[in-house]
Amino acid sequence: MRIFVTGGAGYIGSVCVEQLLDAGHQVTVFDNLTEGHKSAVDPRAKFVKDDLANAEGVKKAMAASKAEAVMHFGANALVGESVQNPSKYFRNNVANGVNLLDAMVACGVPKIIFSSTCATFGNPVKIPIAEDHPQQPLNPYGLSKLMFEQILHWYEVAHGLKHVILRYFNAAGCTEKFGEHHRIETHLIPNILFVALGKKPHLEIFGTDYDTPDGTCIRDYIHILDLAQAHMLALKREESSIYNLGNGDGSSVKQVLHACLKVTGKDIPVVEKPRRPGDASNMIAASHKAEREMGWKPKHPRIDEIVASAWKWHVAHPDGYPD
């Protein structure tokens, strides 16, 4: 198929583009490079540097691509920043997303795979978290993703636009060529590996008194390759659907740290700090629906395997991408 990928120069987008191309699809990457990296775009893809805020630019690029489906990764995704600057998040993640949908309608593109998040749920009331769990986001980032999920419903009502919403839990790991390089890194695994690489003096653990076996937060880490596989399977879905994507098992902060110590063989000093406001103690996905309806099952569920893939990429790219 011909796939139009927004945010294809970012962490998850770049790996999905690689996997799409390996599977024989034709890909156009549309990215403004404010968070992504030009060298993270697979050279086999056609690259268009432009912004979703440019409605005519999106429409022109989509028409030229002759896209048969869209994968939408382009978004701002820093929770703390979203609280401080909600305008940026509602403008980019919601309003600019509407420009993308309008371009799809204008160009007759029938389907979108949307990169959503477990942040739409807020604090869990039941573990593991299934698709029908109440959605009560705690920040503008989570709310912006939920709003776009709701907008997709109404574009289907009005225009017949099909959607598959994929709610990620904690994306992690790397492929041999493509990895995780954020301007501001908030994710646990790369931050631990930065200490092992000597780029940070210590790891900060926020909260050791949670109601978990070792007192630290538990998260459901999912390998980036497993996420990419879910996107490929979603292309085959004929009806609109929503899926939570995780391993269905969690690792605590201390368990992730232990895996990093084992994989790297490096000393990783730790500084324990108080809890951060808004951090849930336990976020684990129920992904039975994705397995049942798409035949999706994670192939790389072990935290040490996820960490090892990330470590290999970071060792090869200690300063991340060059641009």
Q: Could you give the CA distance from residue 36 to residue 58 in angstroms, rounded to a whole number?
A: 17
In the chain, pLDDT over 70 holds for what percent of residues?
100
What pTM, to 2 d.p., does this model score?
A: 0.96
- Mind listing the pLDDT tens digit for each residue in 219-274? 999 999 999 999 999 999 999 999 999 999 999 999 999 999 999 999 999 999 99
Place of tokens 């432009």: 50
Segments in the chain forming alpha helices (H): 11-22, 55-65, 79-84, 86-89, 96-107, 140-159, 188-196, 224-234, 253-264, 288-294, 303-316
What pLDDT score does 295 carry?
97
The DSSP code for 306 is H
- Mind listing the pLDDT tens digit for each residue in 117-145? 999 999 999 999 999 999 999 999 999 99
Beta-carbon count within 10 A of 161 CB: 20
Pick 278 or 125 by higher pLDDT. 125
Which residue is catalytic, options 89, 141, 221, 243? 141
What pLDDT score does 276 carry?
85
The CB-side HSE value for 303 (13 A sphere, CA atoms) comes to 22
* Residue 278, pLDDT above cutoff 80: no
- Mind listing the pLDDT tens digit for each residue in 2-29? 999 999 999 999 999 999 999 999 999 9
* Residue 157, pLDDT above cutoff 80: yes
Read off the pLDDT band of 279 (50, 70, 90).
Answer: confident
141 is catalytic: yes
In the chain, pLDDT over 90 holds for what percent of residues?
97
Is residue 50 within 8 Å of residue 30, measured between CB atoms?
A: yes
* Residue 56, pLDDT above cutoff 90: yes
Structure tokens at 281: 């103690």
Q: For all residues of the chain together, what is the average pLDDT?
A: 96
